[in-house]
Amino acid sequence: MTTLLARDPNPRTAFALEQGGVPPLLARLFAARGVQHTAQLDDALAHLLAPATLKGTAEAAALLHAARDADHTVCVVADYDCDGATACAVALRGLARLGFAPDRLRYVVPDRAVHGYGLTPAIVDLALASGAAELLVTVDNGIASHAGVTHARARGLQVLITDHHLPAEGPLPEAQAIVNPNQPGCGFESKALAGVGVMFYVLLALRARLRDAGALAAPVRLDDLLDLVALGTVADVARLDDNNRRLVAQGLRRIRAGHMQPGVAALFGAAGRQAARASAADFGFALGPRLNAAGRLADMRLGIACLLTDDAGEATALAAQLDVINRERRSVEAGMKDAAEAQLARLDAGGDSPAVVLFDPTFHEGVVGIVAGRVKERLHRPTFVFARGQDGALKGSGRSIAGFHLRDALDLVAKRHPGVLVKFGGHAMAAGCTLAEADLATFTAAIQQVAAEWLAPETLARRVLTDGPLAPEYWTPATVAELDAQVWGNGFDAPVFCDEVQVIGQRLVGERHLKLRVRHAGQLRDAIWFGHTEPLPERVRLAYRISLDEFQGQQRLQMVVEAAAS
């Protein structure tokens, strides 16, 4: 069952925003998302949170400054998702601009199936095997890498951890410096900073230190790395608080003006999207998946190479490879989704169970997170999907719903059933874990028990927040353009309107999507519900986004349906 709930438009705040020059529709939407004053909408770089308030940046800058002066080799330890790839590219491009010799900069990235996640002892050895190094810099990982840091220091390496994941209880790894807004004692206001954002802040701190020391021969610009910061932030589904929205807005502004890395431009081309009209949705649904596909099914070095090259031709060729891999990922995902649906039908998992756990020997480790997200969306239940890794252990990825903090839930399972979870980590809405196949039943019962304790029946009912009706005067291409120009995303959701309509006609297109013709406010409208095949009643309330459908050079306004209720 789906319940459509209207956001509080906060008329007084909306009026104040209008008085400040915000157009009426946007004022209403912003007010409903907690914007209190127009200063929150100012995306100037001068309004970014100060790097000095991010714990560890001073120590990180000092460590990097010393490495630069000593001509040490720096090896960036990346991660195999889009956040990790963009953070790696930001690190290498930024350090080169700040005076590190190109031949002193390298990177390694784990193979998901072989090395697992983070700075493991095996990755330390891989970094050393690829050449001499004095300093390891992790990006988007490391906060839980106690063994890896210990191994690195035993091998004579210094370690700088830059991460944003939640640390476990107890002491942190004994690295020379740690930068993570979620580490104990950090007063940085944006706890939602993505891994790429953390690395960008480290570069800002290093630039300030070098400038104060008179160690820069000329001013160094770092703002043209913001296309990468924006891409990684949105693709990692980081919450768009004021600071993250500024980072993303600045990145989008540069992309729309044609200022971006060749690899980013090539990814827009491979995805068939127009950079001049770039939106945050392009990062989340077009560019990000192509980079992530390399880490899921192939080798993320392809994605990182695409972001690092300054040769447009090479970038285009690499983006084309990433597009092919992404098509393969879609095929694998479709097969897994069908297998998951069959398993759900047997288990009747959408009934009384407050959490879903799925495993099939045919599942691919690189795609379990995507499938978990699809099942979670359909059933509105916390969902874990497991695949068998090369070492025989089960590697699981989970996706959650509001009100169920996945990492905290895993922590409770680990406490109640010591030894069941070999390792785990993540965030509130997404987390991963590893366990022995023999322990799967124990884990399933344990996570369902936690869900039963934490989730009230009303929480398990799918609720869609809407922005209420969209008046007929706003049904224009100009409205779509105005909305598309804004920065929407996790925590600052794109507008979803709600109106009662009369269904005039409906049919399936592509066997998986419901195409509709509806009467709305006296006008006939086109509508489409992607991934939905069940017919609708004649009178129905639709939650929808407004968009421009482009086909054969023609543009038509349409509703993109998100949910329906009688």
- Averaged in consecutive runs of 10 residues, what is the pLDDT profile of the chain (566 residues)? 88 95 96 95 96 98 98 95 97 98 95 83 92 92 96 97 92 98 97 98 98 95 98 95 98 98 98 96 96 93 98 98 96 92 74 88 94 92 95 95 94 96 89 96 97 91 93 95 94 96 95 94 94 93 93 86 92
Contacts of 293 (CB under 8 A, 6+ apart): 322, 325, 326, 328, 329
- Give the N- to C-terminal CA distance of the chain in Å, as an integer: 10
3-state secondary structure of 241: coil
The CA distance from 292 to 108, in Å, is: 16
| Domain segments of the chain as ranges | 46-324, 348-460, 463-565
How many other CB atoms are there within 10 angstroms of residue 80's CB atom? 27
H-helix segments, 236-311: 242-256, 262-271, 280-282, 288-297, 301-308
SS (H, E, C) 21-39: CCCHHHHHHHHHCCCCCHH
pTM for the model: 0.92
Reported as type and span, the H/E element at residue 5 is: strand 2-6
Quote the pLDDT of residue 1. 63
Quote the pLDDT of residue 367. 93
- The 8-class DSSP code of residue 166 comes to P
- The 8-class DSSP code of residue 79 comes to -
Tokens 């104060």 correspond to 212
Quote the pLDDT of residue 350. 46
Quote the pLDDT of residue 396. 96
The CA distance from 47 to 494, in Å, is: 23
3-state secondary structure of 188: coil
The CA distance from 536 to 542, in Å, is: 10
Quote the pLDDT of residue 108. 96
Q: 463-565 adopts what CATH topology?
A: OB fold (Dihydrolipoamide Acetyltransferase, E2P) (2.40.50)
Sheet with 394-399, strands from edge to edge, namely 356-359, 383-388, 394-399, 430-435, 421-426
Cβ distance 42 to 66 under 8 Å?
no
Identical fold between 46-324 and 463-565: no
- The 8-class DSSP code of residue 104 comes to G
348-460 — its CATH code? Answer: 3.10.310.30
Cβ distance 515 to 265 under 8 Å?
no
Tokens 């409205």 correspond to 479
Nearest-5° Cα angle at 53, 51 to 58: 65
507 exposure class (CB count in 10 Å sphere: 0-12, 13-18, 19+): exposed
Quote the pLDDT of residue 263. 98
Contacts of 279 (CB under 8 A, 6+ apart): 252, 484, 485, 488
Q: 46-324 adopts what CATH topology?
A: inorganic pyrophosphatase (n-terminal core) (3.90.1640)
